Amino acid sequence: MKLGGGILIALGVIAAGVLVADLRVNPYLYFAGYVILQYVVIATAWNILGGYAGYVNFGTPAFFALGAYTAVFLIQWARAPLYVLIIAGGLVSALLGLGIGYLTLRLRGVFFSIATLALSIVLQTFVINWDYVGGSKGVTVIRPSAPLFGSHVKFLFAVMVCLAVLAVTAAWLIERSWVGRGLSALRDNEEAAECMGVPTLRLKLFATTISGFLLGVAGAPFPYYVTYVEPSSAFNLDYAINALAMPMIGGTTTWIGPVIGAVLLGTAQQVATVTISSELNLLIVGVVLVAFVVLAPEGLVGLARRLRGR
């Protein structure tokens, strides 16, 4: 697929998203669709670091919540418009990403993962004790009036379509560029990559920063979506688990993997929430993840390749 074709498809998806947002169907579908799209962004962002570079980040909630709380702060402070929230949320999380990028100098493998998990807890503690953004009891966010499409849920749905396209395009571009090839070299063997001329530190910093930016972007509209933000929902461990499970199920080596994983698992979770119980979500993820790790360790994409190769 050439660059031009990719851009056309991206624009097509956005146009389709806007059309869908303008339909008159059950509003709950937009509500659920938002969550699934949000997971497309999260899984794609996670995969840029976890799948391409091989650094497993358990701190997804930290980045997501940092985006969300940056938005809360800007709403409280200046009633900033949504696009400002998204850009600012992305940038603040990108800074955090740059920070954990420097961690990779000393921490590799499972130790890096543990550090990111700890990061999430540290940030949560910080937010719990920060009253301006609601502290532990949370904060109610009032949506601005008169959104596009006449409904906030529809509007946010359309915004999330755009953000998903942005995230997937970024992953697609990285995968096809020298950056992507360098990242897979350092994933395979960091020392050998460095000795073959790959500037591993710079590439890792790039990956953690982009990944952080997109995770923050995914979190920034969250306050307007839920209208009530409190630490335990913004820092929910579900984000860490889903961010990891979705790319694993879809396939971590290519951009389509996280998208497939997010759509399948995200949809399954939404259906289960409505038909059975929201408590079932993590159980579904757990069972599916174990099944995939055992039966198709390279995800659906890897499975499809194996079947085709036979």
Nearest residue (CB) to other proteins, 122 versus 196: 196
**Rounded distance, CA 275 to CA 268, Å?**
10
Which positions touch other proteins (CB under 8 A)? 178, 181-182, 184-185, 187-189, 191-201, 253
Q: How many CB atoms are closer than 10 A to CB 129? A: 10
| Smallest separation (angstroms) from other proteins to the CB of 181 | 7
Q: Closer CB to other proteins, residue 182 or residue 266? A: 182
Q: Report the nearest approach of other proteins to the CB of residue 292 (Å).
A: 18
Nearer to other proteins, 191 or 279 (CB): 191
Enter the tokens of residue 163.
């953000």
The Cβ of residue 195 has, within 10 Å, a number of other Cβ atoms equal to 10
- Compare residues 133 and 205 and give the one whose CB is closer to other proteins: 205
Smallest Cα–Cα separation from 55: which of 121, 113, 119? Answer: 113
Beta-ladder partners of 228: 140
Contact between 198 and 207 (Cβ < 8 Å): no
Smallest gap from Cβ 168 to other proteins, in A, equals: 21
**CA dist 187 → 49, 70, 180, 200 (Å):** 10, 32, 10, 10
Question: Least CB distance from residue 150 to other proteins, whole Å?
Answer: 48
CB of 174 to other proteins, least distance (A): 14
203 φ/ψ angles, rounded to the nearest 5 degrees? -65, -40
Quote the least distance from Cβ 62 to other proteins, whole Å: 29
Give the chain's length. 310
The 8-class DSSP code of residue 221 comes to: T
Q: Are 199 and 46 in contact (CB under 8 A)?
A: no
**Residue 254, SS3 per DSSP:** coil
Between residues 200 and 208, which has the closer beta carbon with respect to other proteins? Answer: 200
DSSP letter (8 states) at residue 310: -
Q: CB of residue 257 vs other proteins: minimum separation in angstroms?
A: 14
Find tokens 């794609």 and name the residue.
44
Which of 254/269 has CB closer to other proteins?
254
